[in-house]
Amino acid sequence: MRTFTNPVIPGFHPDPSVCRVGDDYYLVTSSFEWYPGVPVFHSRDLVNWRRLGHVLDRPSQLPLDGIRPSGGIYAPTIRHRDGVFYVITTLVDGLENLVVTATDPAGPWSEPYLLDLPGAFDPSLFFDDDGSAWVTANRPVGDDGRGEVFLRGLDPATMSLTGPEHVLWTGALRDAVWPEASHLYKVDGRYYLMIAEGGTDLDHAVTVARSDRVTGPYRGNPRNPILTHRDLGRDHPITGTGHADLVRTPDGDWWMVLLAMRPYGGYHYNLGRETFLTPVRWEDGWPLVSRVEPYGPAPALPEHRWPAEPACDHFDAPRLAPCWNHLRTPREPYWSLTERPGHLRLRVRPQTLCERGNPSLVARRQQHRDFAVHAALDFTPGAGECAGLVLVQNDDFHIRYVRTERGLEVVRREGGKEEVTARAAVPGGRILLGIEARGQEYRMRCATAPGEWLPVGDAVDGRLLSSTVAGGFTGAYVGMYAAGGDAGNRNTADFDWFEYVGLAP
């Protein structure tokens, strides 16, 4: 029997939503303050996923200027009808709910259509058999976490809401708080409403209700929640299961994608909320799910592996690879792949990681507990300038491993307070930088020639890269960074290559 390993998309990929078109499956996740927004993936077996790109990849689609950490894009839903893909989501700061469309999920996607859903978030789309279209969304009804799920009609031709509003459900659990992540399905003539409850930490849960009419009334499953790990505690290898979406295979099997976390080094999850897969069975007209396991029998679909993404980026492509992100919307081209061919050039700018701006940062997700990063840097720092590698949770919680006038420095920033934990003298010219993580120990090293690595300081405690310490909903990023000087600064930092490798435990 063929098996698969969870998570199916490791690293910071929360709030997954999935749809099937023929034999193909497409999945999107939240991206919060990172740009481009809403990564989109493609699979043919629900286990092996390739990254197609991003849904929101133009500044006109995604204004993240000044967005707070863990603000920005929440909980997208992807659906398909009549040759058109739809993604609906919320730009939380300002609570703008928007829809974009495309005929190819790899893009280009349309400019956003804004929906009039005051105070709502986590919108979802449902296309009924009779051709009607509907939007569900969630909103608070008090200051204590209570909320409700409601429904409005949608005219896809004008992307405008129609008809009256219908309140569908307030949740199932006795301590029902934060009902969110609503999705509607139609199965054997009945309508099923699936939501998340309890918040996105230990108490996260999936509950479901059903009705004979799309507008309700909805009755909860007496066996709710249909999925939760809340009773397993912090020591379980998978916690916080929830925020799920369902998909049916051509043979009639049902599967669920969902978010969960993998704590390590105590109750810390630097990898953020990741995308998991688990089978769904139906009993007495209700969907049910067992525990989400690290391993399990794979879906009964032909295995379809994709070529592996290269571990090392030599920056010889005309555009940045889809794995690379920027912090908030870039309004100026601070990076170049052409000014020095075969290199990523970062312009040294006054914007820094310590503020809610758009620094000269090109970063990718940490996707393994144990990993190693190496890069080649050519940089001559001026007064107050730096360039090198960074590990980022947010503006006030990150680690900078950078070259300055004083040499190589390791700077640990926690809660907005900084400490230089190590400093090493290095000769001028090209230098090799490395970071190796073993659990929560992040060790820095450097070399002036391949294979001649030397340690720089002691291991840095990486727990500050977990949202359990830093707050928020995102996972850790690692990447290349340059900062310092004033607006007229012309200095640049050149990275010849960047390598990310997951390590065996």
Residues classed as catalytic:
15, 180
**Whole-number Å distance between alpha carbons of 405 and 400:** 15
Q: Which residues pair with 226 in a beta bridge?
A: none
3-state SS of 408-457?
EEEEEEECCEEEEEEEECCCCCCEEEEEEEECCEEEEEEECCCCCCEEEE
Q: Are 115 and 165 in contact (CB under 8 A)?
A: no
- What's the rounded Cα separation, in Å, for the pair 313 and 500? 9
CA-CA distance, 364 to 478, in Å (whole number)?
A: 6
Q: Under a CB-based contact definition with an 8 Å cutoff, are residues 43 and 63 in contact? A: no
Q: How far apart are CA 127 and CA 104, in angstroms?
A: 19
3 state DSSP class of 40: strand
Instruction: Give the type of residue at 366.
Output: Q
In angstroms, the CA 341 to CA 360 distance is 19
Between CA 100 and CA 371 the distance in angstroms is: 36
Q: Across the chain, how many H-helices and E-strands are there?
A: 1, 39
Q: Are 199 and 180 in contact (CB under 8 A)?
A: no
Angstrom distance (rounded) from CA 419 to CA 421:
6
Count Cβ atoms below 10 Å from residue 279 Cβ, excluding itself: 16
Tokens linked to 248:
């049916």
Please give the structure tokens belonging to residue 150. Answer: 């409601």
Give the Cα separation of 314 and 480 in Å (integer).
13
d(CA 225, CA 227): 5
Q: Exposed/middle/buried for 173, CB within 10 Å: 0-12, 13-18, 19+? A: middle
How far is it, in rounded angstroms, from Cα 65 to Cα 123?
Answer: 23
Peptide bond into 455 cis (omega under 30): no
Angle at 367 between CA 448 and CA 364, to 5 degrees: 60
H/E element, 468: helix 467-470
